[in-house]
Structure 1
Amino acid sequence: MKVGLHLKEKILIVDDQFGIRILLTEVLQKEGYQTFQAANGFQAIDIAKQNAPDLVLLDMKIPGMDGIEILKRLKEHDQSIKVIIMTAYGELDMIQEAKDLGALTHFAKPFDIDEIRQAVRQYLPVGSN
């Protein structure tokens, strides 16, 4: 039960590119979300287990554990977690597999930051807690 304290919706940004993580963090914090960042799959899983994010922005092309594997593990941990994927490649099979695994939608890089902002608002309205 939350008494007099509004807890911000939490977003985990998973991307191996530092600049993209910083950009998304700044934009989403201005929107009123609490953000977490992970540079790889292992960090992403740890952060998800510790902080239970409401939404994950997940890059598909990450060295080590790829986006599909990260998505599977996130869903194993919490089936209700919302995931939006990002990919720099037009790999339709990977996008389809991610959607079959429960991803809500996808964005191709370079993405339009306003489109990401709108999608996040659509799936995670500020103050929805």
Structure 2
Amino acid sequence: MSEEGWEVSEAKDGKEVLEKVEQQLPDLLILDNRMPELSGTEVYQCLQEKKVNFPIILITAYSDLDSLAESLGITYFLSKPFNISDLFDLIKLIDQS
């Protein structure tokens, strides 16, 4: 994604995501639901409690992703597997908002 001009940072688990968010204050977070330590939904809920205000894209193979996203108040999500072009399109849509 650096080819697109984006600075990308990775985390190995949900706890590291929370640490990096505090340190780096990203413009956008792409969050997988299945992670060690804390799931993507748990990370999302922690960020909401802290009133973090930046776009989050939830990615998961969860069978009823629409219902999961709606129950959490997540606007942006993709179901696995997905095409990378779909992710780029979603990021561009968020950037235009």
TM-score (norm 1): 0.66
Letter in 1 for 2:18: I
5+ residue gaps in structure 2? none
* Partner residue, 1:40: 13
* Partner residue, 1:66: 39
Larger relative contact order (C-alpha < 8 A, sep ≥ 6)?
A: 1
Letter in 2 for 1:29: S
* Partner residue, 1:119: 90
> Alignment length, in residue pairs?
97
Indicate conservation of the 8 Å contact 1:74/1:81, yes or no: no
| Paired residue secondary structure (1:79) | coil
Identity among equivalent positions (%) equals 27
Give the structure with higher Rg (CA): 1
More strand by share: 1
Cα RMSD between the aligned structures? 2.0
* Partner residue, 1:54: 27
* Partner residue, 2:78: 107
TM-score (norm 2): 0.85
* Partner residue, 1:14: none
